[in-house]
Structure 1
Amino acid sequence: MATFQIEGGHQLKGEIRPQGAKNEALQILCAVLMTDEKVYIDNIPNIRDVNKLIEILSNLGVKIQKLGQGSFSFKSDALYLDYLESEKFKEEGSSLRGSIMIVGALLGRFGKGYIPRPGGDKIGRRRLDTHFGGFIKLGAKFRYNKEERFYGVEAPNGLKGVDMLLEEASVTGTANILMAAVLAKGKTSIYNAACEPYIQQLCKMLNSMGAKIKGIGSNLLHIEGVEKLSGCKHTVLPDMIEIGSWIGLAAMTKSELTIKDVSWKDLGIIPETFRKLGITVEKVGDDIHIPEHKSGYEVTSFIDGSIMNISDAPWPGFTPDLLSIILVVATQARGSVLIHQKMFESRLFFVDKLIDMGAKIILCDPHRATVIGHDFESQLKATTMSSPDIRAGISLLIAALSAKGVSTIHNIEQIDRGYEDIDGRLRAIGAKITRFD
């Protein structure tokens, strides 16, 4: 188990470039299984979850070449489908939730797909009903081995297009069903589809491979099935969650930072949500500039004067992955804010660690927390803690960088799952952080 030691209370300064989007990369990598031709992908982040999926693809028989930093080619022309039912795959796939999306790709192309019950962050229940319900509507038969916690879908007679309404706008569920439907016979419509930029990117990539998808960017997708897909070239977007993390870091440490090439058009309401906390987020070309907040930042209130409430929602609402960052940033704001995490019931449980650091937080229930900001009059104090998941981990790291004294964070493998060379990039802008294995 690796550990970070952080000497907090230092201002940072400089430029930082966001990595490729983790959530997009996991979808895009699964899509390489849908053709026997070469697929070239740029801007793949070098993080644990993505590297684990690349390893699974290699074990499945995908020919992988690293062409440069973040650039790879993939060719899925001779796959070992028996690997999907092996003990090795059950072990490897169960530790990575993103591996669920190989099912849709393989089901569309080969008529079958298998997956162990996936792991991932411990942030509450994350059902797979949307995924498998969509496969069943397309004509697949579902089986579940309860003893081995192993899922399977098979369609020996192929998939047939159908109109479907998803019970929830699941991002990975939409991606999975979309990949299966692209190679189904006939036309499919998916209503209440997720429309995050990651899904838009997947649709654009599939269309460049020969798919026929319309309605990109909306919650109603129309897919006309095709018989075969070809190779393509694709570039992964910058990671909007990491961009939000850097905004929060700059505010909490009163630092001046420039975040380079953020793809503003794909950030949605993220910049505006940070502005609600009083943070200055400046657009400079395609960069974000966060000036030094010498006098702190003040939470705005609603028009009627009631307390600010920031909650998550499916795109184009505010992403749940950034609520942990918002909560930490609010601890030093001037004013109070109610954080409402609607989608996952265990994501706010890390606040006890912030309370130990001196933050004023009332955990109302598993979904809501009220934060009373310190206005930097009382600095957070250093402590020893452990990272429970990716987003809570980076939030605790931001808190430690702003705190007085030396903090220790254990289980930083959770942070490494989603953030590339996080300690190296922080040191480059002046952070005092050391990694111990």
Structure 2
Amino acid sequence: MASFRVKGGTQLKGEITPQGAKNEALQILCAVLLTSEEVLIHKIPNIRDVNKLIELLADMGVAVEKKGPESYSFTAKNIKLSYLDTSEYLEKASGLRGSVMLLGPLLSRFGKGRISKPGGDKIGRRRMDTHFTGFQKLGAKFHYDPKKEIYKIDGSQLTGTYMLLDEASVTGTANIIMAAAMAKGKTTIYNAACEPYIQQLCLMINNMGGKISGIGSNLLHIEGVQRLKGTSHTLLPDMIEIGSFIGLAAMTQSEITIKNARVDKLGLIPDTFRRLGIKLEVKGDDIFIPASKHYEIETFIDGSILTVSDAIWPGFTPDLLSIVLVVATQAKGTVLIHQKMFESRLFFVDKLIDMGAQIILCDPHRATVIGLNRKYALKGIRMTSPDIRAGVALLIAALSSDGTSIIDNVEQIDRGYQYIDQRLNNLGADIVRFD
């Protein structure tokens, strides 16, 4: 198990370029199974979850070739369907939550799929009903082996249909889109997720010869085609990294420029941080955050306490609520953080309280943060990263603190952020990785 030793209280300065989007990468990598032709993907982040999925694709028979530091070629011509029945496949797939999105392209192109219960973050329930119900409406038949905890799926007769999703699940929508891409007839998906990453997946499939309309809305129309061809695709910059860097700059009183941020795809992220009092300037496609000692949280128009909550796109992403919570600890003012989607994501606040933050955990979904306004610095402590986003939030807290902190279990952070210690050290941070 690796740990970070973090010396706090240092101002950072410089430019940083966000990695390719992790959540988009997991969808796009699964989509290479939709064709036997070569697919080139650029801006692939070098992070654990993505690398594990690439390894799993290679084990399945996908020819993988690294073309550059962030570019790969994938050719899914000789897929070993028998591998799906092996214990090795099921074990590897169960350790990676993104592996569930292999089902859509497998059902679409080969008519069969296998999956065990997926793994990933322990941040609360993440049910699979949307995925499975969507497949069933397309005509897939499920068999569950309770002893082995394996789902066997027959998708040999997928047929387009109308469906209203019970929730706008991002991965569920992606999975259904890929399954419907080569199903017979027309599929209409209402209450579809419409995140930029879903838009990117749809555009990629259309470039492969697919017929998807309504892209960017929650009403998608998919005309099934007989086959899809190869293509090339470039991932968006990771919006969660961008939000993390904005929060980092504010907490450490640093001057940072985030390069090539694709500001047009960030939705409410910049304005949400502005409501916390953070000054940021958009310069072309870059975001400049000047060094600032104080930032003051806005109130609502009637003077009541600001609430920052997550919502489906184009609402504020739940993956950045941990960052917003940490940033608020040194602001002037009070904010209520309302995490609606996951019931365990706020349970890292005990570490922040130990560091000196003033936070009231109201229940598993809500926390009230009373900003210290820099009157008291957070103090360095030893803590453990419980998940990807909380881990980076704790890293930001440690970098702003008085003293030295130890963060254990940083493999969680590595799952979502590539070379994070090296990249922040290049800006002047003092982070040492050790076993």
* TM-score, length of structure 1 as denominator length: 0.99
User: Which residue of the partner structure matches residue 136 of structure 2?
Assistant: 136
Alignment of 1:180-329 (within 5 A): 180-294=179-293, 296-329=294-327
Three-state SS of the structure 2 residue aligned to 1:142 is strand
Moved over 6 A (4+): none
Distance between the aligned counterparts of 2:136 and 2:2, measured in 1?
A: 42
Matched letter for residue 13 of structure 1: K
Alignment of 1:92-171 (within 5 A): 92-156=92-156, 158-171=157-170
Distance between the aligned counterparts of 1:293 and 1:149, measured in 2?
A: 53
User: Which residue of the partner structure matches residue 83 of structure 2?
Assistant: 83
Distance between the aligned counterparts of 1:351 and 1:407, measured in 2?
A: 16
Three-state SS of the structure 2 residue aligned to 1:195 is coil
Distance between the aligned counterparts of 2:118 and 2:247, measured in 1?
A: 30
Three-state SS of the structure 1 residue aligned to 2:418 is coil
TM-superposed CA distance for 1:202, in Å, is: 0.1
Contact 1:311 1:339 in 2 (8 A): yes
User: Which residue of the partner structure matches residue 420 of structure 1?
Assistant: 418
Q: CA RMSD in A?
A: 0.5
Contact 1:339 1:369 in 2 (8 A): yes
TM-superposed CA distance for 1:152, in Å, is: 2.3
User: Which residue of the partner structure matches residue 411 of structure 1?
Assistant: 409
Distance between the aligned counterparts of 1:228 and 1:25, measured in 2?
A: 22
TM-superposed CA distance for 1:48, in Å, is: 0.3
**Identity across matched positions, percent:** 68
TM-superposed CA distance for 1:6, in Å, is: 0.2
Matched letter for residue 212 of structure 1: K
Three-state SS of the structure 2 residue aligned to 1:363 is strand
Could you report, residue by residue, the CA deviation over 1:147-171 in whole angstroms, capped at 9, with x for unpaired residues? 2121222123x21000000000000
Could you report, residue by residue, the CA deviation over 1:364-411 in whole angstroms, capped at 9, with x for unpaired residues? 000000000000110000000000000000000000000000100000
TM-superposed CA distance for 1:247, in Å, is: 0.2
User: Where does the alignment leave 5 or more consecutive residues of structure 1 unmatched?
Assistant: none
Distance between the aligned counterparts of 2:28 and 2:152, measured in 1?
A: 21
Could you report, residue by residue, the CA deviation over 1:206-233 in whole angstroms, capped at 9, with x for unpaired residues? 0000000000000000000000000000
User: Where does the alignment leave 5 or more consecutive residues of structure 2 unmatched?
Assistant: none
Distance between the aligned counterparts of 2:143 and 2:329, measured in 1?
A: 47
Could you report, residue by residue, the CA deviation over 1:270-321 in whole angstroms, capped at 9, with x for unpaired residues? 0000001000121001000000013x10000000000000000000000000
Matched letter for residue 400 of structure 2: S
Matched letter for residue 310 of structure 1: V
Could you report, residue by residue, the CA deviation over 1:42-78 in whole angstroms, capped at 9, with x for unpaired residues? 0000000000000000000000000001100000000
Distance between the aligned counterparts of 2:434 and 2:139, measured in 1?
A: 51
Distance between the aligned counterparts of 2:57 and 2:8, measured in 1?
A: 40
Three-state SS of the structure 2 residue aligned to 1:122 is coil
Distance between the aligned counterparts of 1:219 and 1:212, measured in 2?
A: 16
TM-superposed CA distance for 1:131, in Å, is: 0.1
TM-superposed CA distance for 1:82, in Å, is: 1.3
Distance between the aligned counterparts of 1:238 and 1:155, measured in 2?
A: 34
Distance between the aligned counterparts of 1:389 and 1:91, measured in 2?
A: 21
Three-state SS of the structure 2 residue aligned to 1:201 is helix
User: Which residue of the partner structure matches residue 5 of structure 1?
Assistant: 5
User: Which residue of the partner structure matches residue 431 of structure 2?
Assistant: 433
Matched letter for residue 113 of structure 2: G
Matched letter for residue 269 of structure 2: I
Contact 1:297 1:333 in 2 (8 A): yes
Matched letter for residue 140 of structure 1: A
Distance between the aligned counterparts of 1:179 and 1:279, measured in 2?
A: 40
Contact 1:135 1:153 in 2 (8 A): no
Distance between the aligned counterparts of 1:152 and 1:24, measured in 2?
A: 26
Pick one of 395, 398, 402 that aligns with 1:397.
395
Could you report, residue by residue, the CA deviation over 1:310-358 in whole angstroms, capped at 9, with x for unpaired residues? 0000000000000000000000000000000000000000000100000
Distance between the aligned counterparts of 1:374 and 1:189, measured in 2?
A: 50
Aligned pairs, number = 435
Three-state SS of the structure 1 residue aligned to 2:153 is strand
Distance between the aligned counterparts of 2:83 and 2:386, measured in 1?
A: 31
Distance between the aligned counterparts of 2:368 and 2:77, measured in 1?
A: 53
Answer yes or no: is 1:352 the counterpart of 2:341.
no
User: Which residue of the partner structure matches residue 378 of structure 1?
Assistant: 376
24-33 vs 90-99, which moves further: 90-99
Distance between the aligned counterparts of 1:91 and 1:380, measured in 2?
A: 41
Distance between the aligned counterparts of 2:242 and 2:155, measured in 1?
A: 41
Distance between the aligned counterparts of 1:347 and 1:152, measured in 2?
A: 31
Distance between the aligned counterparts of 1:155 and 1:19, measured in 2?
A: 35
